[in-house]
Structure formats: structure tokens, C-alpha cells
Amino acid sequence: MSQRLRIALTKGRLQDKSVELFEKMGLDCTPIRHPGRRLIHSVPNYPLDAVLAKAPDVITYVEHGVCDLGIVGKDTILEKGGAFYEVLDLGFGRCRFALAVKEGTDFYATYKTRRVASKYPAVTRAFFERKGMDVDIIKIEGSVELAPILGLADGIVDIVETGATLKENGLTPIEDVAQVSARLIVNTASMKLHKQEILDFIQQCQANLSGT
Ligand code: PRP
């Protein structure tokens, strides 16, 4: 009998796209589509249980091996890092990290240390380290666009999808930091212990990716 796999899905937008992909693969996702307050759901016609979690927790569960697989954004992977295999770019959840400033301001005009606000301090630090530039990073938990508007920061590093949030708040992207999309990740021990089941699952995901 084949081993039942457990996958951690990032709640929200990536969850919906993951379910669309699974349904293309022929998985009955009724329990995941109607979760109620339950957080773990068995797929009735495939040896897979799905756990719904916040993005950083998806990585934590996969790293610790309590989930064999996970679907999480590259943004979270870049910020949190961790020891796991990143096996597939799923192509959905596409957006980018960008450095953005108030329209009409020149981020590079001064020699003073710039302040940059972000929900992603590690990504921001790595970006400016690559440039050899010393900046003060201020961690913000959400609606980071407020920081330059309120005068707390000279710029932000944030996720840009359509660009509407920046535009509506008088900000403009000046540089791309990294491209982002959803990734399938695998626990390193699971990959050895349940190799065939996991390779089959990856292959089925891959075969159903286009147009997701
Ligand atoms: C993200 C991001 C931007 C917005 C970008 O925020 O932080 O604010 O989406 O999308 P857009 O380019 O399509 O306008 P999210 O909705 O995740 O909430 P948050 O601001 O609380 O992080």
C-alpha cells in the first residue's frame, strides 16, 4: 500500500490556486474547498492529507518533517530560508519584490544612510548587501506603503503584483529585487523515505501546470 503523504498549503490565494492544480490532477478537493474551521483535510481519492497554514509555518512544518511537502511563495522562502528541497516552480502566485519610493524622490541622491521599511528584512538586507550599500532597515508588519508616506522611511521593499497599491499611495517602483512565484518544497528525509510517492506527485503536478 502506498504511503499517505501530508502536504502543507499556504492559506489564502495560494491555497485556491493549489486546489485548482490538484483538481486538474484529478484529486477530489471537496474537503479543502469547504474547510469550515478544520485545518487538516484528507483527499478521498488520493493518498494525500492537506494541512492549511500560514506561509512561514508551511516551511517550519516541512523542515521538521511533520509535513512531507509544502506549497509556499518564493517570497517566504527568500525571507525565512531553511533546509528542504525546492523541487518545482508552480508558476502561480507570480509577483515581484521591488524597491519603491515616493513619486518624485531620488533614493540615491544623498550620502546619508537611507532608511528602508519592509515586512521582509532579510530580503531587504541581502539586496542592499549585494549593492554594497549600508541602509537602516525597519521591520513593518503590513501596509508597509505607509512608512514613506508618514516619513518613517526613504523607501520600501515590498511585494508588487499589479502595482495598484503603490500607485494609489503615491509610490513608484524604482528597482526589481526578486521574482516571486509559488514553489513546491519537500522535506529532505521524506524524499528518501517516500521517494516513489513523492516523485509521482511531483510528476503529476508538473504535467498539469500549464495555464494554472
Ligand atoms: C501585498 C503587498 C502590497 C500589495 C501589492 O499586501 O504587501 O501591499 O499586496 O499588490 P498590488 O501590487 O496588486 O497592489 P497584502 O495584500 O499581502 O497585505 P499587507 O499589506 O498587509 O502585507
User: At which residue does the C-alpha cell 502566485 appear?
Assistant: 93
Q: Class of the 95-179 domain?
A: alpha beta
69 and 59 in contact (C-beta within 8 Å)? no
Chain segment 53-99, per-residue pLDDT in tens: 999 999 999 999 999 999 999 999 999 999 999 999 999 999 999 99
* Best CA proximity match to 135, nearest among 158, 110, 159, 160: 110
Beta strand 48-53 pairing with 5-10: parallel
* Best CA proximity match to 6, nearest among 56, 46, 33: 46
3-state secondary structure of 68: coil
196 CB within 6 A, ligand 1: no
CATH 3.40.190.10 in the chain: give the residue spans.
5-93+181-207, 95-179
186 and 166 in contact (C-beta within 8 Å)? no
Separation of alpha carbons 100 and 122, rounded Å: 17
User: At which residue does the C-alpha cell 509535513 appear?
Assistant: 67
Name the pTM for this structure: 0.94
3-state secondary structure of 151: coil
CA 176 / ligand 1 centre spacing (Å): 16
Chain segment 176-203, per-residue pLDDT in tens: 999 999 999 999 999 999 999 999 999 9
159 CB within 6 A, ligand 1: yes
158 CB within 6 A, ligand 1: yes
Q: Which CATH architecture has domain 5-93+181-207?
A: 3-Layer(aba) Sandwich (3.40)
